[in-house]
Amino acid sequence: MNDTIAAIATPFGSGGIGVIRISGPDAFSIASKLFSKRKSRFETLENLESHKVRHGYIFDNKTMAVIDEVLLIPMKGPSSYTAEDVIEIQAHSGTFVLRAVLEEVLSLGARLSEPGEFTKRAFINQRIDLTQAEAVADIIAAKSANALKFAMSQILGTLGEKIQELRERLIQFLSHIEVNIDFPDDVAPFHPSENEIQGLTDVLEKCREYIKQHNDACFLKEGIRVTICGAPNVGKSSLMNRLLEKDRSIITPIPGTTRDPVEEGLNIDGVPFVITDTAGIHQTDDLVEIIGIEKAKDHITASDIILYMKEPGSVFTEREFEKIVPLGKKVIFVVNKIDINEGNLPQLSEKYLHIPTVEISALLNKGIKELKQKILNLSIAELDMEKSPVIPNLRHKKALEQAAESLEAALAGLENGQAEELLAIDIKHSIDSLGTITGETASLDILDNIFSNFCIGK
């Protein structure tokens, strides 16, 4: 933490501009040794005024040749990304030129940063909490408008603040118990008020609510898995291509065309999906088809929504349906090729009438919009995006589960008249678990794990 780090902060390859970032106590002195206002002669800048963009040139310190024409942005700590002295150099973006500038910076005493080290310094210097640091990675990885919205809410500190509120309520309760433990003779025996007990129950409820929000919304990051399945030749690949609006799967009149599952990302109204086209499921002796059908079944098991396809005129049997679709899965019944035989649709029995049905013609591109809308409705029915701006990630969820478990133990202990010392231990566990979310009590392992997933320069 006492040294100065540097890295190329923009992606490799050609582009408009590329940014080199330097952070640490020597950032300003390094900048003054390689940056000059004039291209003809090197002129050391005595004072780099903070937050003022300067135009100039980067020099090779040995040969005194100009490496690039740049903009230089000095930011004095703590008013910077890392809360340390930071220099950002906007150079031309080419792999060679950026490396040349970076090498110059390193030769003047900076060290190449590790992945996520700039953000880690922002966290260690307490400019941001751990949830905000994680949100930086989420913003970079966001694949949909909603994922970006939630990441932005987290970077503004919403989740961190909510967790902090819960922790503070528990800390208050704990201090009440501890007074009793430390000075048993001076104060009345420990009897939490109704209000205090209600407080614990409220915190527990909140933990459970956030866990539920994680479960409801985690698909926003990974994408909801949708698998198209059905008999050979019903038009699964044709539907796949219509959904994606591009020729991704091979379509032929020959049954058994698709063998390997074909997977592709799709965004519907800002919600990310992963759509899979699979081999037609039927009885066969063809070894390749058999393997394809096994893979299709694996995808069906792992998917969140199944598009079960049929043709008009074909028979719907419960036995076949139940063999393919696991109990409790979200299903949409898709009847394709309505251009051929509109009247004669497969009849669903009473038991399956609740399944949404959509009639389409993949060939004529009919009914695809309605199907997309049904897929969307089925996915986000339970999630109120406006009301829940706080979406914990998997790490937060695990910490919340631990916090909730300790709180349940504490509440049960209160009912059974458990000793104050044991009660204090449970409450303390809960406080510490919540602290790992914001980073207050996060171990080095947790920190390393989080920041090693960042890119270099962030």
Does 276 bind Mg ion (CB under 5 A)? Our answer is no
User: Binding partner of residue 238 among Mg ion, ligand GTP, none, CB under 5 to 8 Å per kind?
Assistant: ligand GTP
CB-nearer residue toward ligand GTP: 75 or 334: 334
Site for Mg ion in 225-254 (CB under 5 A): 236-237
- Which two structure tokens, joined as six digits, stand for 173? 């309760």
68 touches 95 (CB < 8 A): no
User: Binding partner of residue 56 among Mg ion, ligand GTP, none, CB under 5 to 8 Å per kind?
Assistant: none
End-to-end CA distance of the chain: 16
CB-nearer residue toward Mg ion: 257 or 418: 257
Beta strands 305-310 and 224-230, pairing class: parallel
User: Binding partner of residue 256 among Mg ion, ligand GTP, none, CB under 5 to 8 Å per kind?
Assistant: ligand GTP
CB-nearer residue toward ligand GTP: 48 or 335: 335
User: Binding partner of residue 298 among Mg ion, ligand GTP, none, CB under 5 to 8 Å per kind?
Assistant: none
3 touches 111 (CB < 8 A): yes
- The position carrying tokens 């919205």 is 149
Which value, to the nearest 10 degrees, does the dihedral of the CA atoms of residues 288, 290, 296, 298 take?
-110
Shortest Cβ 352–Mg ion spacing (Å): 24
Shortest Cβ 288–ligand GTP spacing (Å): 12
104 touches 62 (CB < 8 A): no
Please list the alpha-helical segments (H only) found in 35-116.
95-107
Q: Given the rule CB under 6 A, which residues bind ligand GTP?
A: 232-238, 251-253, 255-258, 280, 336-337, 339-340, 361-363
CB-nearer residue toward Mg ion: 234 or 271: 234
CB-nearer residue toward ligand GTP: 363 or 385: 363
**What's the rounded Cα separation, in Å, for the pair 95 and 252?**
45
CB-nearer residue toward Mg ion: 225 or 236: 236
* 228 Cβ contact partners less than 8 Å away, ≥ 6 residues apart: 236, 239, 240, 275, 276, 277, 278, 307, 309, 334
Shortest Cβ 227–ligand GTP spacing (Å): 13
CB-nearer residue toward ligand GTP: 97 or 363: 363
* 43 Cβ contact partners less than 8 Å away, ≥ 6 residues apart: 36, 37
User: Binding partner of residue 276 among ligand GTP, Mg ion, none, CB under 5 to 8 Å per kind?
Assistant: none
CB-nearer residue toward Mg ion: 144 or 237: 237
Give 153-158 contacts, CB < 8 A, sequence gap 24+: 153/389, 153/390, 154/390, 154/391, 156/132, 157/128, 157/129, 157/131, 157/132, 158/389, 158/390
CB-nearer residue toward ligand GTP: 256 or 413: 256
User: Binding partner of residue 199 among ligand GTP, Mg ion, none, CB under 5 to 8 Å per kind?
Assistant: none
Among 257, 314, 418, 441, binds Mg ion (CB under 5 A): 257
Shortest Cβ 349–ligand GTP spacing (Å): 24
User: Binding partner of residue 157 among Mg ion, ligand GTP, none, CB under 5 to 8 Å per kind?
Assistant: none
User: Binding partner of residue 233 among ligand GTP, Mg ion, none, CB under 5 to 8 Å per kind?
Assistant: ligand GTP
Does 61 bind Mg ion (CB under 5 A)? Our answer is no
- Which two structure tokens, joined as six digits, stand for 388? 């829940």
Shortest Cβ 88–Mg ion spacing (Å): 51
Shortest Cβ 322–ligand GTP spacing (Å): 20
Closest CA to 23 of 78, 82, 70, 72: 82
Shortest Cβ 258–ligand GTP spacing (Å): 3
357 touches 348 (CB < 8 A): yes
Does 258 bind Mg ion (CB under 5 A)? Our answer is yes
Count Cβ atoms below 10 Å from residue 235 Cβ, excluding itself: 22
172, burial (CB in 10 Å: exposed 0-12, middle 13-18, buried 19+)? exposed
CB-nearer residue toward Mg ion: 77 or 292: 292
Shortest Cβ 445–Mg ion spacing (Å): 46
Shortest Cβ 24–ligand GTP spacing (Å): 58
User: Binding partner of residue 23 among Mg ion, ligand GTP, none, CB under 5 to 8 Å per kind?
Assistant: none
Number of residues counted as binding Mg ion (CB under 5 A): 4
282 touches 202 (CB < 8 A): no
Residue 74: C-alpha distances to residues 21, 23, 49 (Å) = 10, 10, 7
Shortest Cβ 216–ligand GTP spacing (Å): 32
Count Cβ atoms below 10 Å from residue 23 Cβ, excluding itself: 28
State the residues that interact with Mg ion by CB under 5 A.
236-237, 257-258
